[in-house]
Amino acid sequence: ILSIRVYDTDTAKKYFGQINTINVVKTERLEELKQEKVSYVAVKQLQINSDLKGKIASGSKISELAGHYTTSDILANAIDQVFEPKTAFEAKEVGVYLTDFFNNLLGVFDEEFNTKANLLRQPRMFIGYIVIAKIFKENDVPLSKIKNVIETIIEEDKELDKVVTYNKGASSRLQKLVKDHFEKIDIKSWIS
């Protein structure tokens, strides 16, 4: 059966996500294409306007060869759970803030992000960055304090490496473990 359709890019992505049954595409990629979560609006903002451009994988796994840092699925889920945007407008506002946050983060840790075997570059670490970004936004903390806060967390949190790199269990459960861990850290005491 041949079906020819002419759609704009967004409509074509959603249509592809709906009819994808023969040559199955991974669930994470389908969710990104369908963009049913409004948090994908924020992820799109990061993919286009931030220093993360080209560093966010569409699939469920990153490609070291392609230079990916994290996945759109990890970012969308974290944004959904931490910032809880209800509308596309709210998600875009979150995306604008996160663009500034990640540009600052990648700028001050440029050397670390260009080193492949580094905790800061671990894909699920981006869940923690989103938790930190929310705390910064809620408390009007200047983004210039990112370096100090991240360095303090890495120095003082002895469990961080184990929590972020733990790989036994479902992806969603592992992401929740990281989010919960970062939410327990007393970041507010280091930013005052």
Residue 121 and residue 142 share a domain = yes
**Total structural domains within the chain:** 2
Residue 57 and residue 24 share a domain = no
Which amino acid would we find at residue 12?
A: A
Residue 31 and residue 124 share a domain = no
Residue 102 and residue 151 share a domain = yes
Cα–Cα distance for residue pair 122/186, rounded to 1 Å: 21
Residue 74 and residue 26 share a domain = no
Instruction: 32-35: list long-range contacts, CB under 8 Å, 24+ apart.
Output: 32/58, 32/72, 32/73, 32/76, 35/10
Write the pLDDT tens digit of every residue in 72-109: 999 999 999 999 999 999 999 999 999 999 999 999 99
Write the pLDDT tens digit of every residue in 19-65: 665 566 666 665 555 556 889 999 999 999 999 999 999 877 888 88
Whole domain around residue 14: which residue ranges? 1-35
Please tell me the pTM assigned to this model: 0.82
Residue 123 and residue 42 share a domain = yes
Provide the CB-side half-sphere exposure for 134 (13 A, CA): 16
